[in-house]
Amino acid sequence: MKRNIKDLVKQMTLEEKASLCSGLDFWHTKPVERLGIPSVMVSDGPAGLRKQDDKGDHLGINDSIKAVCFPSGCLTACSFDPDLLEKEGATIGDECLAEDVSVILGPALNIKRSPLCGRNFEYFSEDPYLAGEISAAYVKGVQSKNVGTSIKHFAVNSQEFRRMSCSSNVDERTIREIYFPAFEKTVKEGKPDTVMCSYNRINGVFASENKWLLTDVLRKEWGFDGYVVSDWGAVNKRVEGLAAGLDLEMPASGGTTDRQIVEAVKSGKLKEAVLDKTVERILRIVYKYKDGKTEGNFDKEAHHNLVAEIAKESMVLLKNEKNILPLKEKDASSILFVGAFAKTPRYEGGGSAHINTWKVTSALEAAKKAGLNVNYVQGFDIAEKKDKKLLPEAVEASKKAKTVVIFAGLPDSYESEGYDRKDMKMPLNQDILISEIAKVNKNVVVVLHNGSPVEMPWAKDVKAILESYLAGESVGTAQIDLLFGKANPSGKLAETFPVKTSDNPTFINFPGNGHDVNYAEGMYIGYRYYDIKEMEVLFPFGHGLSYTTFEYSNLKLSSKKILDTDKLEVSVKVTNTGKVFGKEVVQLYVTEKTGTHEDRPVKELKAFAKVALNPKESKVVTMTLDKRSFAFWNVELHDWYAPTGEYEILVGSSSRDIRLTAKVEVTSTAKGVFKINENTVLEELLEHPVAAKCAEPLVKKFVSGMLGEGRSEAEKAAVSDDMMMAMLYSMPLRALRSFLQMKDEEIAKFIEDTNKELSKY
C-alpha cells in the first residue's frame, strides 16, 4: 500500500503536526486518531529485545518481557564476521515483529576511546572500519524484516561521566577519521530507518541541536532519509533542535515542547515547512512498518541455540601455552572448575542493554549436559564479601586437580551505563585467587567474563586465557564447546588490551572536568597509539589464537600503480597447516609511505575476511581497497585526500602479526590541493614536483649567495653547510625579503604564479 504522506500532512492541524514530534509515553510515538495515524512502539536494545511489559514501570527497567539475551557488541565485533551479524540482526528483527516493535534502539557503535567507558560493552571496537562493517551488516539484518533500527549515539559519545551536558571537544580531522566513519558506513550501506543523537555537546553545541551534525553531514553528505530521534532526555532547546534536524523527541514531554513548536511557528521563529518535513520523515517510517508488517518468529529455544553459535564464533583465545587447550573429555573427572561465574555467569551489561533473560546456560550446566563430570568449588564471592573458607578450599582442591579452569571477571557493579570505570582492575579477591592457584597447579586456564579490557597481573602465570566478554544467555554452551574442542576459537580482539590503565592514550584527559573533555590524543586511540609509541601491550588489536595453524603466502596486488579513483584487488593464499578445521581472520592494514609530513598512523585496518579451512586446505582470499583506504581527511579541502606516492599493504593475523607485505603507487587525481602563502616554508615547496620547479630559481639564488665561494674557514665553522640548508628548508617565503632582498610585491607575484600552476594539478 503506497501512501501519499505529503497529502496526509496537509490535512493535519498545526497542533497535530507538533504533537507527532514527541513521544506518547516512554516507548510509543503519538497517534492522530482523527486521521487514523497509528502509534508505534520503539524498544531497546543492542543485545536483544528489552520490551517493557504493559504492567511494568514507565522506565521499563525492572519489568520487561522475557526475551533472548544475545551477546553484547564487545563480543560480536570479535567475530570479524559481517554475515554472522546480519543473521543475528534478522533474528532480532523477527522477535520485534512478533512483539509488534517498529524500531529497535541499536546498534550502539560509538568508538572505544578509553577502556574505562562504562558502556564499552555495548560498543563494537576502537577501530572505525571494523565497527562500520559489523554495524552495517547488523542493520541490514534487522531491516530485512521491515523493522527499523536506531543507530546510536551520534556522535562523539565515548564516556558516561556527565554525558548529558559535557562537551566533547575534538578537531575536525579526528571526528572524520575516527568518530564518524562507522556511522557513515552504516548510513550509506545499512540505510537505518532512524539515527539517535547523543546527549553530549560537540565542541560546545548539543548534538540534539547541532545543524552541522544532523543536517549538513548526516542528511546532505551521507544521504540519510529517515528520522532523527533524541536519546531519552537529550533535548536541550526543542525548537532549535527541530530546526537543526532533530525530528522526534523521546520520551514524552507532557506537551510542553509541543506547545513550544506551535508558538514558534505562529511567531515566525520556525518555518512551518521545516515542521512539515519533520512530520513527513516520522510518518514515512511509521507507515513503512505498519503497512509492511508480517508475522514474526520468537522461537526462544532456537534463538538460544543461535546465541551459542554467535558466541563460539566470537570468543577470543588470548593465550594457549603448550597447547593446554582443548581439554580432553576423558580427563573431565580430574578437571576442577573454580569461580562463581562458572555457576552464575555474567553474560550481559546493565542499563538499556539489559535483557530480562528467559533462560541462562552456565558452564557447569553445559558440562553436565555434555556428560562431563567436572568438579567445582566457588572460589570467590562475586560481591567481594570476605569469606575465609572460599580461597583455602579452592587452593586445596586445585592441588589435587590435573587442570584448573577459573571462571573470573568483572561483577555487574564494575561497568554499566550511567558511570565509568575507575580503573581496569579486576576485583582483588579474584586476582589473589588466580595467583594462589597458579602457585600450586601449573595447568591453569582462565575464562573471563567482562565487557572491556582488564589488567592481568597473573597473565604469565597461567597456561591459557579465553576471553568470553559478555556472551549472552548461552554463554556456558559456547565456553564448554570451545574448552573441550567441539568448536575451534576464531575470534579476534576488536580492541587492544593495554598492560595497565595508565598506558592508554586518554589517561590524562578522560573523562574531563565535567564541563569539557578534550580529545587531545586526536586520532591516536587504540592500536594507532600503541603502534606509534612502540609500546608493549598485553594483547594487541586483532589478536586471537586457534587450535590449528595458518600459513599465508602468495600476496598479489591487481596493479602496482593506480589512480586514487581506481579499486585495488589484494589477494592472499591461506592454508590450514594444522590437524583440525578452523577459521582465520585475514587482516589488511595500510601504511602511508609517500614522504609527506602529514600526521598519519603507522598502519590502519582497511579490510578483513574470515575464511574457513579444513586441515591442509588452501583458499585464496581477495579484498578490495578504494580511495578511502589510502586517504586522510584534509581539513583545507574538507574532503578525503590520498597523497601521491607509495603505500605499503600489510596482511597478517593481527595488528602485530604481519605475515606479508607489498607496495603500491597511488596517484592523486585531486586538483588544487596544495596552495602556498607567505608562511609556506621552502621545504614544503620542494616536496611538491610542480612547486619545486617554480621555486628552483629561488633555491639556486639562495645557495649561490649563502653557500658560494669566498666564505672563510671561520665562517664555515660558525655556520656549516648543513645548518645553512636546514635554515633554507625551514624558511617561510616572507623571509626572502631579508635573505634574498626580494620586495613584497615580488614575493606576492611568486606566490600568485605558483598557485596558478598548482591549480592545474
Active-site residue numbers?
A: 231
Strands (E), 347-488: 375-377, 403-409, 444-449, 464-467
Q: Are 489 and 316 in contact (CB under 8 A)?
A: yes
Beta bridge partners of 202: 168, 205
Q: How far apart are CA 702 and CA 679, in angstroms?
A: 17
Cα end-to-end span (Å), the chain: 52
Q: Give the CA dihedral 88, 89, 91, 95, nearest 10 degrees.
A: 140
State the number of CA atoms in the 13 A half-sphere of 489 facing the CB: 30
Pairing relationship of beta strands 201-202 and 205-206 according to DSSP bridges: antiparallel
How far is Cα of residue 648 from the mean position of the Cα atoms in its chain?
A: 24
Q: How far apart are CA 274 and CA 265, in angstroms?
A: 9
- The closest alpha carbon to 106, from 66, 76, 127, 78, belongs to 76
Q: Are 618 and 630 in contact (CB under 8 A)?
A: no
Q: How far apart are CA 730 and CA 682, in angstroms?
A: 6
CA gyration radius, the chain = 29
Give the SS3 label for residue 599.
coil
Residue 362's contacts (CB-CB under 8 Å, 6 or more residues apart) are: 342, 343, 344, 345, 475, 476
Give the angle subtended at the CA of 256 by the CAs of 253 and 259, to the nearest 5°: 130
Q: What is the DSSP string of 1-24?
A: ----HHHHHHTS-HHHHHHTTBBS
Residue 132's contacts (CB-CB under 8 Å, 6 or more residues apart) are: 109, 181, 182, 183, 184, 185, 186
The three three-digit cell numbers of residue 526, written as one number:
587504540
In the β-sheet with 618-625, what is the strand arrangement from edge to edge? Answer: 550-557, 568-576, 618-625
Q: At what angle do helices 689-707 and 744-758 cross, to 10 degrees?
A: 150
Q: How far apart are CA 304 and CA 88, in angstroms?
A: 11
Q: Are 601 and 532 in contact (CB under 8 A)?
A: yes
Q: How far apart are CA 226 and CA 285, in angstroms?
A: 7
CB count within 10 Å of CB 259 equals: 15
- The closest alpha carbon to 588, from 657, 635, 639, 644, belongs to 657
- The closest alpha carbon to 139, from 93, 178, 184, belongs to 93
- The closest alpha carbon to 21, from 249, 244, 228, belongs to 249
